[in-house]
Amino acid sequence: MTDFETFLLDGRPVRFTRGQTILEAALAAGHYIPNLCHHPEFRPHGSCKLCTVKVNGRLGAACTVKAMPGQEVASDTPELNGTRRVLLQMLFVEGSHFCPGCEKSGACKLQALAYDLEMLTPHFEHFYPSRPIDASHPDVLIDFNRCIMCELCVRASREVDGKNVFALAGRGTASHVVINSASGKLVDTDFALSDKAAHVCPVGAILPKRVGFAVPIGERLYDVDSISTQAEKRVGEEV
Amino acid sequence: MTKAAGHHPTELDVVLARHGRDRLRLVQILREAQEIEGWIPPETVAAIARALDIGVGEVESTLEFYSFFYRRPRGAYVVLFSDNITDRMLGNRSIFDHLARRFGVRRGEVSSDGLVSLDYCSCTGLCDQGPAILVNGVAIPKMTLARADQIHDLIRSKVPITAWPKEFFQIDHNIRRADMLLGSPFVPGSALKAAIAMGPEAFLVEVKRSNLRGRGGAGFTTGVKWEAAKKAQGDERFIVCNADEGEPGTFKDRVLMQYYPERVIEGMALAGFVTGARSGLIYLRGEYLYLKTPLEEKFAELRAGRLLGRNILGVEGFDFDVEIHMGAGAYICGEETALIESLEGKAGRPRIRPPFPVVCGYKNKPTVVNNVETLCKVTEIALQGGATYEGYGTKQSTGTKILSVSGDVERPGIYEFPFGVRVNQVLDEAGARNPKAVQISGASGACLGIREFGRRVAFEDVPTAGAFMVFGEDRDMFEVARNFAHFFAHESCGFCTPCRVGTAIQAKLMDKIANGHGTQYEMAELTHLREVMRAGSHCGLGQTAGAAIADTIGKFREDYEKRLAHKDFEPAFDLDAALARARSVSGRDDAASHILDHA
Amino acid sequence: MFHVAPTTRKRKVRIATTSLSGCFGCHMSLLDIDERLLALAEIAEFDRSPITDIKHCGPCDIAIVEGGVCNAENVHVLRELRANAKVLVALGACAVNGGLPAQRNHVDVGECLARVYTHRSEGQAGAVPNDPELPLLLDKVHPINEVVRVDYFVPGCPPSGDAIWKYLTDLIDGRIPRLEHPMLHFD
């Protein structure tokens, strides 16, 4: 008898402990499943749907489906990767993602996923949103045009920082992050550069001021190893 | 008591006090706060945030989610035209345009004198007596140009709505075919007495024996749901009546709540009896505001008759009471976990399931969410026993189903049939006029063509929450699908990527085809999008948002083809229109300042 | 979709290139294939291109378009290339998603023109130019796939010479062109 149970991911056995989601178990075992709104320190959100997999023939988000013994999970298939590519294209056209002008480029999860899934074009007609930028805070800038509604900042501020600086408001494509102050400006909150929420954005929507383009091209987070290669090298760590 | 700021601190204070400054009641607080000025100014947002001890952003999160909350001033009279495809078929657009002309106001705008604002809204559930409108939240069916003129005059003369002619507000039940439920007399308390005589365990056995399945569309077995909630850990349990009947083309719950309220409420009490829940909540869609007071009067009557409240019918410890939570214009709240979020005063974004509401629902307590019709059905089971359902309907879909029939039929209205009824029979009884298609179960349902009219309404064949929209031979099924595409884009909650973005792209592509700029490319795009939305979406809204388009492309392709440009490719946008702004500021109108051809 | 099949290589592959609303950086990057230019010259010849200075495009195998669509002239040029090319390739960020020029899209083009031409200081107030020779601006800058059908996309600002070479040779040799890490990048 072993302490571990296993499920099958693309035909390979993956060990897991009870309570882990498919995504958590897969990442811990060094098997990459694309994901964007997931963060190991936070409860599953399940909104970006990049981690959509087929569990015993049924589609589900790997970040929200609990691992169970004997499950057969399909992830790295042309069909699912095709769906993921479309989801990325949707995010790219919904916001304004001009990589050459973004300080996050090279360390951006959205971009890294697009590379990994070989997304060569955003394909759909661009929405060209015109969302105001909040540069009011002395240390942090927010460009809402890059926001992908993953709510990681909302969650981090609430759950880690205990500050509740952000909330998601609106509906449908009018969804947007709002700031919890009467003026709606970041400067009028107790937000600080040291907050978890200041460093959790997977894209370039929340950025520290005055440190843009600090890492040279070629040495940035995803320049050498792709996001999937890195995940595969990170076996056993909490990811 | 903290004094709230704002233009009307005292009125807002009353609202806040009435709801105990409870964050869970934020949707109700906003509804009532809005009645003060007709909209919710920033000071009110701030005052509510302070009073509830939450962030301004959290209030905004709820406020901006619901269509019937306004952050900017509205007219003293807010006139909303129901814009379901059935309203369109009855000519709502020309009546809207007429009224807009007479008031000199455009869609979505407020007249310069602040008197009136005019807009469209999603289906108001009056498809059998449309076109329908809402004036300050109150429904008026059977709109005509003449009635629009009368309304125009009343508004111009600033006559309060309470003084408008009563017949304007007359909502007919249009019950055309009554069966087991609609045709049986009901003595309030009789079902409870029968269940009490059996005891909760034995009654649950009867409910399970009946194989009653949820009438909201999903068809989950009611007895199993109740049993799960009964067995779930929790010091408190809730029964929620899902009266957020937002599916375009559905209106049977409205009729049940207006004409059979005792059945609905007693069904909730029965659920409480079995599961041990003491609180019932009716989540009533905002469009059905006119049902709120009559329902509350009914609660009072039932309490007086010891059919609600403490020690119901004298049974020691059988306590159950009911209250109404109003929705505020969000179709997604018909999804049970979104509904629970809304009950808790939040934006109606569906939760991750599991855990399911029977384990972790309202206030994270075991919660049964049942459809209005389902709750009526359990009163039948209490009175007649679960075995009565055997041999009624089909093996997998027992009992009767109430259909909301609208569209091109002589007799639109409510039809109760045993499950398994063929589409043809419904069409015959309703007097369908040369039908070419039936949209069953609303915008998210299935579109059937003539060759499928022999199919049966049942969970195992064509499942339905009740909508049955009939389209005659001259109807354009492309426009039907386009209407639904815009509905979904408007109603997507925005939580998950495929639905938020996919419904918006889908609506744009349908408009492109409608404007004569579609090609086979757009057709292929729609088909592909549908697959991605179905595969990736978080809940049923996104999963079904492309269904009507896929169905109509498959079955009524000619309605699309006739609009397509016979070209390889058409630009995503209107090239010449994109030059208009620069033309205007430069004062140019020469040939080179236009792109007229589409080579 | 067309590939330039190896069997047709009896004649040279005819390539057209252009820069719409771009910075010619992608063309510079094309020149960055260095000595491989000689190899390219063996198998390819150029139609309309800044390299040849031919003003109008004739029938060609591959059209390579840099830059987004910003004005009426861009539309005409792009359509001419599309009409003449078997295969159209969007080269670089601007052609693929609008790029830097599209960052003006949240600004009203009318206000922008008025600000530039009519609100000048020191009494120099003029009018927005109305010469028909001037290409009129579109209200927004669009990637080229929103105006014509595009067969292939090579993102990057600019794509590296290596990426361009890899993609072009894949195309010319009849392989499905592919860009992977680390050659695929958006910046």
- Give residue C48's domain range: 6-104+139-172
Task: Return the residue of A nearest to B536 by Cα.
Answer: A49
Task: Return the residue of C nearest to A105 by Cα.
Answer: C187
Q: What is the CATH number of the domain that holds B361?
A: 3.40.50.11540
Q: What is the pLDDT of residues A133-142, one digit of tens each?
A: 999 999 999 9
Least confident of B162-176, B380-394, B517-531: B380-394
Classify residue B111 by its DSSP letter. -
Is some CB atom of chain A closer than 8 A to the CB atom of C106?
A: yes
Note the helical H segments in B494-579: 497-514, 520-536, 540-544, 547-555, 557-561, 575-578
Q: Is the Cβ pair C103, A224 closer than 8 Å?
A: no
- Give residue B104's domain range: 77-170
Q: Is the Cβ pair B579, C137 closer than 8 Å?
A: yes
Q: What is the pLDDT of residue C127?
A: 87
| Distance, CA of A48 to CA of A35 (rounded, Å) | 8
Examine the pLDDT at A154 and tell me if it is beyond 90. Answer: yes
| Distance, CA of A16 to CA of A236 (rounded, Å) | 11
Q: What is the mean pLDDT of residues A42-55?
A: 97
- Give how many domains chain B has, as a whole number: 5
Is some CB atom of chain A closer than 8 A to the CB atom of B63?
A: yes
Q: Which residue of C93, C142, C182 is in closest CB contact with A223?
A: C182
Strands C13-19 and B413-418: unpaired
Say whether both B301 and B345 belong to one domain: yes
Q: What is the mean pLDDT of residues A118-136?
A: 95
Q: Where are the domains of chain A?
A: 5-76, 85-208
- Mind listing the pLDDT tens digit of every residue in chain C (187 residues)? 344 444 455 789 999 999 999 999 999 999 999 999 999 999 999 999 988 889 899 999 999 999 999 999 999 999 999 999 999 999 999 999 999 999 999 999 999 998 888 876 666 667 899 999 999 999 999 999 999 999 999 999 999 999 999 999 999 999 999 998 889 999 9
Cβ neighbour number for residue C34 with a 10 Å cutoff: 10
Which two tokens mark C13?
Answer: 């592959």
Q: Is the Cβ pair B586, C114 closer than 8 Å?
A: no
| Distance, CA of B33 to CA of B63 (rounded, Å) | 11
| Distance, CA of B59 to CA of B47 (rounded, Å) | 10
Q: Which residues of A190-219 are buried (b: 16+ CB within 10 A; e: fewer)?
A: ebeeebbbbebbbbbbbbeeeeeeeeeeee
Q: What is the pLDDT of residue C126?
A: 79
Q: What is the mean pLDDT of residues A129-135?
A: 94
Q: Is the ipTM of this complex over 0.95?
A: yes
Domain boundary residue among B389, B417, B444? B389
3-state secondary structure of C179: coil
Q: What is the pLDDT of residues B224-270, one digit of tens each?
A: 999 999 999 999 999 999 999 999 999 999 999 999 999 999 999 99
Give burial (CB, 10 Å; 0-12/13-18/19+) of B226: buried
Contacts C129 to B, Cβ<8 Å: 586
Q: In what order do the strands lie in the sheet with B279-284?
A: B321-326, B279-284, B238-243, B367-371
Q: What is the pLDDT of residue C2?
A: 40
Which two tokens mark B536?
Answer: 């990736």
| Distance, CA of B352 to CA of B496 (rounded, Å) | 11
Q: What is the mean pLDDT of residues A31-45?
A: 96
Which two tokens mark A42?
Answer: 């936070």
Detail the DSSP E strand segments found in B337-457: 367-371, 400-407, 413-418, 435-440, 446-449
Say whether both B18 and B129 belong to one domain: no
Is some CB atom of chain A closer than 8 A to the CB atom of B69?
A: no
- Give how many domains chain C has, as a whole number: 1
Q: What is the mean pLDDT of residues B164-185?
A: 96
Q: What is the pLDDT of residue A237?
A: 60
Say whether both B342 and B202 belong to one domain: yes
CA separation (Å) from C127 to B11, B588, C115, C124, C131? 55, 12, 10, 10, 11
Contacts B347 to A, Cβ<8 Å: 168-169, 171
Q: What is the CATH number of the domain that holds C31?
A: 3.40.50.700
**Helices vs. strands in chain A: H and E counts, helices first:** 5, 10
Is some CB atom of chain A closer than 8 A to the CB atom of B60?
A: yes
Which of C153, C146, C140, C147 minimizes the C-alpha distance to C186? C153
Classify residue B540 by its DSSP letter. H
Say whether both B351 and B260 belong to one domain: yes
Detail the DSSP E strand segments found in B83-234: 116-121, 133-135, 138-140, 175-177
Topology given in CATH for the domain delimited by A5-76: Ubiquitin-like (UB roll) (3.10.20)
CB within 8 Å of B519: residues ≥ 6 apart:
B564, B565, B566, B567, B568, B569, B570
Q: Using omega within 30 degrees of 0 as the cis cutoff, is the peptide bond preceding C158 cis?
A: yes
Note the helical H segments in chain A: 22-28, 78-94, 109-116, 152-159, 227-233
Q: What is the CATH number of the domain that holds B460?
A: 3.10.20.600
Say whether both B449 and B504 belong to one domain: no
Q: What is the pLDDT of residues C143-183, one digit of tens each?
A: 999 999 999 999 999 999 999 999 999 999 999 999 988 89
Does a structural domain hold residue C124?
no
Examine the pLDDT at B467 and tell me if it is beyond 60. Answer: yes
Rg (CA), chain B: 25
Residue ranges of chain C whose CB lies within 8 Å of a chain B CB:
72, 75-76, 79, 83, 108-110, 113-114, 127-130, 132-133, 135-140, 142, 146-149
Examine the pLDDT at A145 and tell me if it is beyond 60. Answer: yes
Chain C touching partners, 3 or more CB pairs below 8 A: A, B
| Distance, CA of B303 to CA of B320 (rounded, Å) | 10
Contacts A178 to B, Cβ<8 Å: 56-57, 60-61, 64
Q: What is the pLDDT of residue A3?
A: 64
Contacts A48 to B, Cβ<8 Å: 496-497
Q: A97 near A121, Cβ under 8 Å? A: no
Chain A touching partners, 3 or more CB pairs below 8 A: B, C
Residue ranges of chain A whose CB lies within 8 Å of a chain C CB:
92, 96-102, 105-106, 111, 114-116, 118, 120-123, 125-126, 128-130, 145, 217, 223-224, 226, 229
Which of A227, A211, A203 minimizes the C-alpha distance to A105? A203
Q: Is the Cβ pair B595, C75 closer than 8 Å?
A: yes
Q: What is the pLDDT of residue B597?
A: 67
CA separation (Å) from B538 to A202, A228, C169? 21, 25, 42
Among A90, A119, A189, most B C-beta atoms within 10 A, so best to mutate, is A90
Contacts B580 to C, Cβ<8 Å: 139
pLDDT averaged over every residue in chain A: 95
Length of chain A: 239
Which of B 484-503 lie inside 8 A of A, CB atoms?
A: 489-498, 500-503
Q: What is the pLDDT of residue B389?
A: 87
pLDDT averaged over every residue in chain B: 95
Say whether both B363 and B423 belong to one domain: no
What is the identity of the amino acid at C23? C
Which two tokens mark B185?
Answer: 């007399």
Q: What is the pLDDT of residues B563-595, one digit of tens each?
A: 998 888 899 999 999 999 999 999 999 999 999
Examine the pLDDT at A2 and tell me if it is beyond 70. Answer: no
Q: B188 near B307, Cβ under 8 Å? A: yes
Q: What is the pLDDT of residue C181?
A: 87
Task: Return the residue of A nearest to C140 by Cα.
Answer: A128
CA separation (Å) from A106 to A210, C11, C100, C185? 18, 42, 18, 9
Q: What is the pLDDT of residue C163?
A: 96
Say whether both B149 and B235 belong to one domain: no
Q: B405 near B432, Cβ under 8 Å? A: no
Q: What is the mean pLDDT of residues A204-218?
A: 93
Does a structural domain hold residue C13?
yes
Contacts A183 to B, Cβ<8 Å: none
Selected from 3.20.20.70, 3.30.70.20, 3.40.50.1820, 1.10.1060.10, the CATH number assigned to the domain covering A85-208 reads: 3.30.70.20
Beta bridge partners of C153: C90
Q: Is the Cβ pair C139, B582 closer than 8 Å?
A: yes
Q: What is the pLDDT of residue C11?
A: 87
Long-range contacts of C122-131 (CB under 8 A, 24+ apart): C127/B587, C128/B585, C128/B586, C128/B587, C129/B586, C130/B586, C130/B587, C130/B588
Q: What is the pLDDT of residues B40-85, one digit of tens each?
A: 999 999 999 999 999 999 999 999 999 999 999 999 999 999 999 9
Q: What is the mean pLDDT of residues A107-126?
A: 97
